[in-house]
Structure 1
Amino acid sequence: MVIAVVGAGSIGRRHADNLAALGEPAVLIPWRSFDRAALEKRSDVKGMVIATATQVRLELIDLCAAKGWPFYVEKPLHWTAQGVAEIYNRAGDLAARSMLGFMARYHPVVQALAAQDLSEVYGFTFEIGHDVRQWRQNWSFPDSYAARPDGGGVLLDLCHELDLALALFPGLTVQAVSSVGHADFNGVDFASRIALADPQGRAGTVAMDYLAPVSQRRSDLAGTDALRRLDLLAATLTVDGPSGSDTQSFPHERNDMFRAITRDWLRLIDDPDAKLHPLAPRLSDMRASADLIADAWTKRRFTGTAKMAF
């Protein structure tokens, strides 16, 4: 039996390599040569990784639902509430054996933080950014999915931090979104800052951009007992309190997160009741996150224009 990986870009190739390393045969299928009828005829497929552009995923989820194939779909699920609802309707009961690709939930700093009592936190900031022209070798932003007005832009591309905020503080809702666009890419946000709040009075922001000259991925959680500072690139968690400061390091490789989430998904394929990581993004548990991201995208208000030459 094999896993079909649809989408042969860098993420699709990473999934295929990780599946092979975990002892799961995979067949890599470029979207441009995808043949639904040919795939439907195969009797050796037990699941699908959907690593395509966001805009074409519904057709693949529909196929998985028809065949009963659990799927792993890359984030974000969709950029509108209607699209999210349609995907969940199509997936049905299969959502309990499928995953949404928020692998940052498996970052060791996030795991350590989630194990703490965060009830005294009253404010937070999450920031992620990097010059989009430096992302990958031989990769062109103007020719990519990210440059499309529907389903593209930085808010959707770097939405891990939105999901992490909600995972740590359930109940958050979008208050406002300020975005920076680009004259050459109408409707595409190059920087977005989302204001969030929850019924307990907790408030904060999530910011992402395609503009930062060096890669950054940091968070601050302000509490009445301590200030927690996270650096997900350096993999450190610093806690400042009345008695001093303590920093913990969590050495890891980025691919460790991909393999950890893949292991959990493979367990789900065989057993929907399998014990998973506490923050595992099982699709059936991720509706609030998918809706939050879609709501944020819908509420974008462009307030400026980025000066970035391509």
Structure 2
Amino acid sequence: MVADVFLVIGAGSIGQRHARNLAALDQKVDLIPYRDFDADAVAKRTDVAGVIIATATPIRLSLIALCAAQDWPFYVEKPLGWTKDQIADIYAAAAPVADRSMVGFMMRYHPTVRALAQLDLSDIYSFAFEIGHDVRQWRQNWSFAQSYASDAEGGGVLLDLCHELDIAHCLFPAAAIASATSLDHPVFAGVDFATRISLAAPLGTVAMDYLSPVSLRKGQLRGTGQIIDLDLLAPAFTRDVGAGPQTTAFDFDRNDMFLAVMADFIAIATGQSPSDNPLMPRLSAVRASCDLIAEAWQARQFTGQVDVAF
């Protein structure tokens, strides 16, 4: 039997998006809700070209181990885990297929991020990234209290919206966690609703929250020879090197990133050449970013609470 089917394990909103995009990219797709997943039955399949793991974070290790045992490349949603020990276990299990697998850092395909990565940022001494959105407005017929996000182990805003921390790592690979300060909720103890991470070398902050009544996704970079302000929702960035601000805007649809990252996964899973994106999140290349996210989560210090009604 020809190995030409991509399994999507997890039929939530992100799993459904990946299944639609695979079909749009002319791939055969089998979408399997995790509640219907039978590891023994799946392991007997001989038609699998690759696996997309779109389940809750705590149950991904066993799925990754299954893929590695079957020599199946996989695409796994971020974050890989929330402790460095978990990350180490996953990388050990995934070693046989790590170079043909990917982590879902799809913001590496955002045109603004790609443009910034091509600039000389060696003079930047300070940066800040911020993302905020009222978690109660995310999706229709969705309950925060009944979701993965409300779980103290594997939930919370730092893990949920960790793309900005990955972006910071892409642009400033030497940046290290200095501290992380969080607010939780009277009903959801230990679940961060707002977190501010401080980094060093260069000085930086990454802030994320479940609270902003207006969705925002912005950043600022300050250097000795340039200043840059960006809006990832617009999307555009404005750069001034001393001769006046110059704005670069992009024609962009959010799903473009998902399509592009999935096209690259199809390519590396089937032995073809991927795109020329130097930020492509091949599993074998993103260990440092995954560790950085885990280090930030483990560094959280809860300093207060926010009381919003659910």
Task: Provide the TM-score with structure 1 as the length reference.
Answer: 0.97
Match of 1:172 among 171, 175, 178: 175
- Give distance in 2, aligned partners of 1:248 and 1:276: 21
Where does 1:41-60 land on structure 2 (aligned, <5 Å)?
41-60=44-63
* Gapped regions of structure 1 (runs ≥ 5): none
SS at match of 1:293: helix
Instruction: Give the equivalent residue in structure 2 for 1:193.
Output: 196
- The alignment status of 1:236 with 2:236, answered yes or no, reads yes
- Give distance in 2, aligned partners of 1:92 and 1:242: 48
User: What letter is aligned with 1:66?
Assistant: A
- The alignment status of 1:127 with 2:130, answered yes or no, reads yes
Contact 1:97 1:272 in 2 (8 A): no
Task: Provide the TM-score with structure 2 as the length reference.
Answer: 0.97
- Give distance in 2, aligned partners of 1:55 and 1:306: 26
Instruction: Give the equivalent residue in structure 2 for 1:270.
Output: 270
User: What letter is aligned with 2:40?
Assistant: A
SS at match of 2:208: strand
* Gapped regions of structure 2 (runs ≥ 5): none
- Give distance in 2, aligned partners of 1:139 and 1:196: 34
Where does 1:102-117 land on structure 2 (aligned, <5 Å)?
102-117=105-120
Instruction: Give the equivalent residue in structure 1 for 2:245.
Output: 245
Match of 2:33 among 30, 34, 40: 30
Instruction: Give the equivalent residue in structure 2 for 1:98.
Output: 101
- Give distance in 2, aligned partners of 1:247 and 1:274: 30
**C-alpha spacing 1:180/1:229, structure 2 compared with 1 (3 Å):** same
Contact 1:236 1:250 in 2 (8 A): yes
- Give distance in 2, aligned partners of 1:82 and 1:298: 11
Instruction: Give the equivalent residue in structure 1 for 2:280.
Output: 280
Contact 2:263 2:274 in 1 (8 A): no
User: What letter is aligned with 1:95?
Assistant: A
SS at match of 1:244: coil
Question: How big is the shift at 1:71?
Answer: 0.2
- The alignment status of 1:87 with 2:66, answered yes or no, reads no
- Give distance in 2, aligned partners of 1:119 and 1:280: 21
- Give distance in 2, aligned partners of 1:227 and 1:138: 42
Instruction: Give the equivalent residue in structure 1 for 2:301.
Output: 301
Question: How big is the shift at 1:257?
Answer: 0.1
Matched-pair identity in %: 58
- The alignment status of 1:40 with 2:30, answered yes or no, reads no
Aligned residues: 307
Contact 2:53 2:75 in 1 (8 A): yes
- Give distance in 1, aligned partners of 2:179 and 2:81: 19
Instruction: Give the equivalent residue in structure 2 for 1:219.
Output: 219
- Give distance in 2, aligned partners of 1:295 and 1:173: 9
Contact 1:75 1:101 in 2 (8 A): yes
Question: How big is the shift at 1:275?
Answer: 5.4
Match of 2:69 among 62, 66, 73: 66
- The alignment status of 1:149 with 2:181, answered yes or no, reads no
Question: How big is the shift at 1:274?
Answer: 4.8
